[in-house]
Amino acid sequence: METPECDKALKIQDESNNIGFFLDWLQEQDIHLCSPHNHTEPACYRYGDRDPNEDRYISHDYAGQAKYIGEKELDCGSRQGEMICVRESFEKLLARYFNIDLNKIEKEKQAILKEIRGK
């Protein structure tokens, strides 16, 4: 059975492990990976509903009070360019760095298991 993505991951396993150990050490030292926040994420905004009686949008704040806003309103609580911790797992960061598709690896693993169980 061919497993090109698993084979690719095996070739870089030692290097990936070493980088992973370093990333773990950074975390133990209370050093975190951060990147500047960018308000391009849809999660940064609250979207209003068009008020049928007026040519504007209505939204509700967290206390349930109605208020008029534009079509969307900034709602993430972060400032543009503010440094925020990277939320992506080290496994995903390493896979991205080495151009490894984790979904393909999982499919190849499942195919291997299916073949073993079928015998």
Convert the pLDDT of each residue in 76-96 to its tens digit.
Answer: 778 888 898 988 999 999 999
Task: Write out the residue range of the structural domain in which residue 66 sits.
Answer: 34-85
Residues 7, 28 share a domain: yes
Same domain, 60 and 39: yes
pLDDT higher than threshold 90 for residue 8: yes
Question: What b-and-e string marks burial along 8-29, b requiring 16 or more CB atoms within 10 Å of the CB?
Answer: bbeebeeebeebeeeeeeeeee
Q: Does residue 97 share a domain with residue 80?
A: no
Q: 64: buried, middle or exposed (CB in 10 Å: 19+, 13-18, 0-12)?
A: exposed
User: Is residue 21 located within the same domain as residue 41?
Assistant: no
- Return the amino acid letter for 111: A
| Whether residue 52 has pLDDT greater than 90 | no
Residue type, 97: Y
pTM reported for the whole predicted model: 0.67
51 and 39 assigned to the same domain: yes
Q: Whole-number mean pLDDT of the chain?
A: 84
- For residues 38 and 27, membership in a common domain is answered with no
Identify the residue with better confidence: 41 or 28.
28
Q: In the prediction, which pLDDT does 40 show?
A: 77
pLDDT value at 108 more than 80: yes
Please tell me whether residues 10 and 25 are part of one structural domain.
yes
Q: Are residues 23 and 64 in the same domain?
A: no
